[in-house]
Structure 1
């Protein structure tokens, strides 16, 4: 939920002392900072969200598309609107552990994700990658996942740099539906 606070008491929708600043509150980020939904260990049965998501409905799990070996899912803590991940069903940590069929479908889903995001949102570029291991920045290092982050000219402004906040113009459920409806497998 986004709460806007202004210096005008009649327009104020958040708590706090009014001043000359407008604030965008992003309380959902605290869940990420505090490690919510992080596995308790490296095993598939240790609360891995990527092992749990396939058993949920597409809407509840934010799943965009399902394949035989991998699935595409929105990132619960996105860098940009449309930030999704391609994830193998099998609980493996390292890219070299994928077999040929998993590797091929992961590549095909990544290409389809780019096509879908270009069609749905006019993405002008992408950051695509995997963080292999906790020391490389993987938030969930025990289960491989590839990020596909759409980018647009001017999509970085002062908010992430100064305010440590990313403003997203669309709710995750709306983004999931838009992308799922455009996905062509």
Structure 2
């Protein structure tokens, strides 16, 4: 089901259907908008988020790169990122690399190839990625690398409410900013002690 299908069924132009469904700078009369929305609902039309993002010139993807998705702390951090991404209508892509620089570089390259705005990388892999001769592309200027603490083996506790709030603020910043490369550390919570 495409936007063109909705426009045809509603008897309007594709531009009018788009404005009715997506808003925009030009307004559509309420009667026309309601008609297009009714037709779209009847047809089961769902907007294609990626196509909308491309049309706006901005794709909202974040990446998460780890070498151990099964670690309880890593899984908890990933879960917090998923919640924050969902809240900001951002897609989170996850990659698991081996602990070596080659694997980490290849996975980072894959995430960058998908157009991520930022990649959350475990501290262990961040170190491997900085190793001389690491294969794969270096992040382009508009992709941020955010280092997150490694898991329970490093003595880091599970994320708490403060971590959740900090990560949500960081994802909000990443999902609304339009560039600006930076390397920063994500919140990590207190060390076990």
Q: Same fold (TM over 0.5)?
A: no
What TM-score, normalized by structure 1, do the two folds share?
0.26
More helix by share: 2
User: Which of the two has higher C-alpha Rg?
Assistant: 2
Please give the TM-score of this superposition, normalised by the length of structure 2. Answer: 0.26
